[in-house]
Every structure is written in C-alpha cells, then in structure tokens.
Structure 1
C-alpha cells in the first residue's frame, strides 16, 4: 500500500510540474515561445495597388517606412479593416493563392501585412468598395499579385491562411521621440508576426507599460535617456511573452534601429 501511495504521489507531482511548466508564458533571452502553426484556408478576394516597382507600398498604416530597407520587400499587402484589427495585424504573414478565375496562376505566395486598405463608402462593396466591411480583402503590392494572377484581372477570388513569419534574427526596434517620450516601431517579428503589448525597462526603472500608438508602434512617456533598454513583448495571436534584454545601449538615439537576440517562432 505504501509503495502504491508513493507511486500515485509521484504521478501527481509530475502532473503539477508539467502544469506549471506549460502555464509559464514569459520567456527570457535564449528561450522561445511554442511554434506558430498555419491556420485553415479561407476564401477572400485580392486586388493590387501601385506599379511593378512597389514604391507605392512605402509608408503605410503600420509605420514600417521603407518596406525594402525594413526587410519586407515587395511581398506585402494592405488589409481590409476586418483583417487589419486596428493595427494589431501589422506584421502578420499570409499564404495566398488565386482560385476560381481564368486569370489564376498555379502558385502560392507569402505576403506580410504592412498597410491598411481603408473603406471606400462612395463605392458599392461589390463594385470598387472592395475593402468595405465586412469584406475580407487583400490589396497586394503589384509584384506580389502578379505571382498569383495576371494583373489585367484586376480582382480575383483567393484562398488565404495565416502562416508563421520568417524572421531574420531577433526582433528589431526603430526608435523615435526623445529622452522623455520613447516611440518604438517593432519589426521583424517571427511566429505570428504580431504584437499586442510592449513593456520597456531601463537600467534605473522597473517595467513600464507602453501604450499602442498606431500600427506597429508603441510609446512610453518616461525619462529613459542615458539608460540601456530592455523590452518585453506579448504576441497578439499566441499570447506568449518574450523578454529581449539590453536591446539598446545607454547612448541610444532617436532614428536608430536596434536588434535583439530572440524572436517568436
């Protein structure tokens, strides 16, 4: 009987330890959140904007600026507001393939959400107002659209799904503001590609919650000049949290981009 009780207790202890390990969501440098898995395929529509140079995709509602120097290239799209989710979808990655159109190519391309396709209430949702709610729509950079369909199609039905975003090293932070107001653009996010919450910590402060400014930018009204900065980020999709220590040195400057050593997967 004693051995049986000991066996049962050992099982319960292991279960408790497993529960603790899986409920821990804050991951420090060198540790990674669980891998983001592709979602199911869904139906939407796609158009394109700009020309073959994709220069019209620079700027945009996510705040990535020049999408070429930011690392997103020409495989980008503006999302209808249903998908854009007030900017929390910035950085998300989608696989898209054309369907049910004679203009389709038999290819699948992967794009990153870098902009908003706003509603056009002066046009009918089925005749020009392609991004009017509740439509699910991708307004793709022309080079990306031309990978899945002939450009003369104008608009095509597509199948799409969320996929993990490829990351080139750690998460990048582009600084704006000043020593008393820090505005950070968060880029090169792996995994789900998106961010819901950001905290910053100086060498002389605790963790400070940053408010969502717009797109992929977050701000903190605090005196942070002369301090090395670390960041804590939570994924909008997976809810996982990682900590990126010592991203910026104590002499950080607005206009500079700093890269961490960890990322979501």
Structure 2
C-alpha cells in the first residue's frame, strides 16, 4: 500500500454506533466554541482537523456521548428546534463529526452552565458549524439529533508513531458504522493479537514489529470487521500514514 504523508483531505465524515440510521430524533442541546483550538483533534487524537479532512463541521461530545473515546469519529445529524428567535430559518440539518470531548463542570448545575455534565447529551460545536443552524447570540440552543451513516472517500488510514518498543496507531477515515471498538495487529512473523485503546482513536502495542509487514483487523460497534493484510510494508516508517481498504 502507498504511504501517505499527512495531507489535506476534504469532506470526510465518520459515524459511530450500531444504530438504526435515520431513526427517531433525540432531544439535546448545543453550544459552540471558537479560538485557536478550533482545528485541534483534542481528545480523539486526530491532530490537525484540516489536514485530516474533518474541516469545520466538528463537535465535542458530552460524557454521555463521548463514552471514554468510543464516540470519536461519530457522525451526527443535528437540527435547531423550538426556538424561532435563534434558529436560522430554513437551515438544513447539520452533519458533524465528533472529534473532541466536552468535559463536565461540576461547579455548575447541568441546566445552568454545566451543559456537558452527565447524563446530559450535549454537543459543543465548532463555531462555523453552529452558525449554520443558529445565530451567534443564541449561546445555547435546543437541538434534535440522530446518528447517520457516513460517506467516506478512500480507505481506512493508519498513522504510526512511537518507537521499536511502543507502537501507537491512529485509525481514521473508517467507513460503514465508523465507531472503532477494537483493533488487532499481525506482523508477518506473529499471530494476531489485540491492541489497547490508548486514548481516543489511538491504539497501542508493545510488541516488536519493526521490519515486518503489518496487517490490521478493525472492528466497529455494529460487530462488523474488516481485515487489511500487509497494509504496512516491511519498510514502514514512523510518522507516515498508510491506506487500506474500507467498509462499503
């Protein structure tokens, strides 16, 4: 497989969960954030969101939705509801990718500032995404949301970092259900063995794998698994991204 350096990939969306797509809308609320961290990968480990293809339609999830990193990459359809003063008239529902975590604030109540406190389901949107469905002065809006399938471009991408004694693999651009629940790796001289979620969508192993071609099994939360054999060649290098096959 061809090695890819971090490059700008536009319009990539990922989705989480074994769910009934286009199912019933659920109630939640949304706020927005801005500033220099708007393109940071945050708690999901994606790095620069522009380079990784997520763009501005991103969200940080509350504890209930983030699910200790399993919500990373989730794709949600969101619409502003029940607030004609602050909702953008005629706006189409917004599709965002979960790329960060909105931490709880237990110094404030869940209905007065602690918007991301459990068990609330809340979206802290990047400001450009928020403004597609609501006015800036709204601050916080009632929304309805549902998980939707994602349309992917290209294959699953594996970015490797670490050292010969510790390999860290970022898994992104996963199609189909999109929510990566487990990753297994196999060297050409080893059997399959599971990787451990380090944080977000970063998966680790302490096996000695340098100099071996590497294969990966990626399982999503709907139980589907895809195997990419020898997606990393024997001469793979740290810091590079390798592309395999994707879910349909």
Query: Normalization by structure 1: what TM-score?
Result: 0.82
CA shift digits 1:71-110 (9 cap, x unpaired): 1110000000100010001111000000011211232110
Decide which of 94, 98, 120 is 1:113's aligned counterpart.
98
The structure-2 alpha-carbon separation of the partners of 1:35 and 1:56, relative to structure 1 and needing over 3 Å to count, comes to closer
Post-superposition offset of 1:56: 2.7
Answering whether residue 241 of structure 2 is matched by residue 257 of structure 1, we say yes
* Residue 55 of structure 1, CA deviation: 4.3
Alignment partner for residue 149 of structure 1, among 121, 134, 141? 134
Q: Displacement, 1:57?
A: 3.7
Match status 1:175 vs 2:150: no
**1:238-249 superposed matches below 5 A:** 238-249=222-233
CA distance in 1 between partners of 2:39 and 2:104 (Å): 17
- On the 8 A contact 1:119/1:132 being kept in 2, the answer is yes
Structure 1 equivalent of residue 54 of structure 2:
72
Q: How does 1:181-200 map to 2 (within 5 A)?
A: 181-200=166-185
Match of 1:11 in 2: none
Q: If the length of structure 2 is used for normalisation, what is the TM-score?
A: 0.88
* CA apart distance, 1:40: 2.3
Which stretches of structure 1, 4 residues or longer, exceed 4 Å deviation after superposition? none
Instruction: Single out whichever of 248-257 and 125-134 deviates more from structure 2.
Output: 248-257
Does the Cα contact within 8 Å between 1:233 and 1:241 map onto a contact in 2?
yes
Counterpart Cα distance in 2 of 1:245 and 1:192: 21
Query: Do 1:35 and 1:191's aligned partners in 2 also have CA atoms closer than 8 Å?
Result: no
Q: How many residues align?
A: 228
Matched, 1:100 2:85: no
Gaps of 5+ in 1: 1-33
Unaligned runs of 5+ in 2: 1-17
Aligned-partner Cα distance in 2 for 1:172–1:241:
15
1:31 alignment counterpart:
none
Question: Following TM superposition, by how much is the alpha carbon of 1:165 offset from its aligned partner in structure 2, in angstroms?
Answer: 1.7
Paired residues of 1:45 and 1:138 also in contact (CA < 8 A): yes
Instruction: Tell whether the 8 Å contact from 1:50 to 1:57 is kept in structure 2 after alignment.
Output: no
CA radius of gyration, larger in: 1
Q: Is the 8 A contact 1:36 1:191 kept in 2?
A: no
DSSP 3-state at the match of 1:61: helix
* Rounded Cα–Cα distance in structure 2 between residues aligned with 1:165 and 1:87: 18
**Alpha carbons of structure 1 residues 76 and 247: separation in structure 2 relative to 1, 3 Å:** same
In the alignment, is the contact (CA less than 8 A) between 1:185 and 1:217 conserved in 2? yes
Measure the CA separation in 2 of the matches of 1:219 and 1:209: 9
Aligned partners of 1:40 and 1:233: how far apart in 2? 28
